[in-house]
Amino acid sequence: MAPTVLVTGASTGIGRACAERLADRGWRVLAGARSDAALAALDAIAGMEAIRLDVTKPEQVEAAAAATGPHLDALVNNAGVAVTGPVEVLALEEWRSQLEINLLGQVAVTRAVLSAVLAARGRIVNVSSIGGRVALPLFGPYAASKFALEAMTDSLRRELRGQGVAVVAVEPGAVATPIWGKGVEGGDAVTARMDTAQQQRYGRLVAAVRRAAERSGREGVAPTRVADAVEAALTASRPRTRYVVGREARVQATLGRLLPDRVMDGLVARALR
């Protein structure tokens, strides 16, 4: 019998690459997406069953859990968005929305299917980010959500120690996915409402980060590279607790661990110039 995996945020980018990879490897893939177009496209792929899943809607989370049945071999928590802008400018509601999707949505899905994963002695893979280790300017909400997801992953892994369930974080750097374009669009909306003083404080930084985001959308690692790590996390006899994806992410992780904060601040500023 084919193993079953639930992949959230499977409509595009990393989630789509993971869902396609696992379906190709013979898994029964429950692919979560929100739009009708994405659901139809996923349903057309052999080995895939599309389910409507907005991780912020309890009724859809409950329905997804019901669809998995009493045994679930793996959960890939991938759904997420990127809210960007200066801490001073972003409204609290924008912070709440970021955390609701990138953190609390993952917690909700995990809780809903945990008994099924335990029954199968399965795996939980949380798609985090190098932004969960190194917080870049203007990425405060996104980084906060990923730092928190890392903490949740560590806690859950330690809580389930000895229960036969592996809990893994996958930490990509820049990946060529639509999230960067959406982030730029959202950042433009934030910039448009800055007052004159804020424009003076953050204008150059916003322009530099925008260029970096656009470059990431073009030149970041392919989503299939992240799918490689997710597949390894799901199939290795003894998976790592973390998989860092991409040279840029590995460099950031190393520098963030070894360098004093002030030195790291200077390197980030220089890179954005």
Separation between Cα atoms, residue 230 and residue 246, nearest integer Å: 13
Counting every residue written for the chain, the total comes to 273
- What 8-state DSSP symbol labels residue 175? B
- Give the bridge partners for 123, in sequence order: 74, 166
Orientation angle between helical segments 223-235 and 13-24, nearest 10 degrees: 50
Q: How far is CA 158 from CA 110, 113, 150, 163, 167, in A?
A: 15, 18, 12, 10, 9
Q: How far is CA 235 from CA 9, 10, 87, 168, in A?
A: 21, 20, 40, 12
Region for residue 13 given its phi and psi (left: phi exceeds 0; alpha: psi -120 to 50; beta: otherwise) = left
244: helix, strand or coil:
strand
3-class SS of residue 265: helix
* Rounded distance between C-alpha atoms, residue 273 and residue 270, angstroms: 5
Active-site residue, 142 included: yes
**Residues 27, 139, 142, 202: which is the catalytic one?**
142
Residue 54 CA, distance from chain mean position: 14
- Residue closest to 133 by CA, chosen among 176, 165, 171: 171
Whether the Cβ atoms of residue 27 and residue 47 lie closer than 8 Å to each other: yes
> What residues act catalytically?
142
